[in-house]
Chain A
């Protein structure tokens, strides 16, 4: 067994083909051309979700308060769209 394992240490190091560098650079270039700005898309999606949630909240709050006392929901000094109530 030991002699067989010693055989493994006879394997010498090999230098890769210099053309490999050009191939890697080419693949990196292709990746850059196909680049999708995920961080920007994620930020826009997050803003959209927040705005949608706010819209839903406002719609729900106004429909719930149609027949109720508004003072519980609207701050006294609020000058927002609730002012009409």
Chain B
């Protein structure tokens, strides 16, 4: 596996997946670096049981989720004396792919998406932002298509609840 060729082919995919999870450029760049270091280190152990693209998607998703957890731990440590509700509101939303007129609405939407459980968040991002098919999402997340569909329905319900709650607080 030629690393340079793999990098050129998949860097955009990895970077954009990272952006959908962290919604800011510095963190997405850090995650992209980490993903390709892992690809470089583990390419010998890639058995070809799944497509290379699927394998890279999985690494990108797991690395993004790990980065979010690490950042949230850091934030908690830094703001140990503040309450959790205030912490949740600290948003790093600065997605370069969001059009200016949608930025505010997307910031609110992602604030809600970021509160979803990891699997629901991944299904929503892969289906609705990455616009992958249910079959592709099922392969990446190693689930059945039926499970992806039901996870998506749950994600929508939970997202609605979170958004309603946020709206209620604002009014």
Contacts and interface: CB of A to CB of B under 8 A. Distances in A.
Interface of A: 1, 4-5, 7-17, 20-21, 23-24, 27-28, 31
Interface in B1-42: 7, 11-12, 15-16, 19-20, 28-29, 32-33, 36-37, 40-41
Contacts of B163: 4
B159 A8 contact: no
Nearest to A8: B128
B119 interface: no
A2 B47 CA distance: 39
Contacts of B124: 8
B33 A7 contact: no
Interface residues of B, number: 32
Contact of B129 (A9, A16, A21, A27): A9
Given A4-B109, A8-B109, A21-B7, A16 B37 contact: no
Given A5-B128, A9-B129, A15 B12 contact: yes
B41 A31 contact: yes
B166 to A, nearest CB: 12
Given A17-B29, A20-B11, A31 B37 contact: yes
Interface stretch (B50-58, B67-75, B90-98, B138-146): B90-98
A11 B109 CA distance: 12
B118 interface: no
Nearest to A3: B105
Given A7-B102, A20-B33, A27-B33, 5 more contacts: A4-B163, A8-B124, A10-B98, A13-B16, A14-B16
B135 interface: no
Contact of B19 (A14, A20, A24): A14
B59 interface: no
Q: Which 10 A-B pairs have the closest CB atoms?
A: A16-B15, A8-B128, A11-B97, A14-B97, A8-B129, A12-B97, A14-B96, A24-B36, A24-B33, A13-B16
B7 A16 contact: no
Given A7-B106, A11-B129, A20 B29 contact: yes
Nearest to A6: B128
Contacts of A23: 29, 33
B33 to A, nearest CB: 5
B99 interface: yes
22 contacts: A1-B160, A4-B105, A4-B109, A4-B159, A7-B106, A8-B129, A10-B99, A11-B97, A14-B15, A14-B16, A14-B96, A15-B15, A16-B11, A16-B12, A16-B28, A16-B32, A17-B29, A21-B11, A23-B29, A23-B33, A24-B37, A31-B40
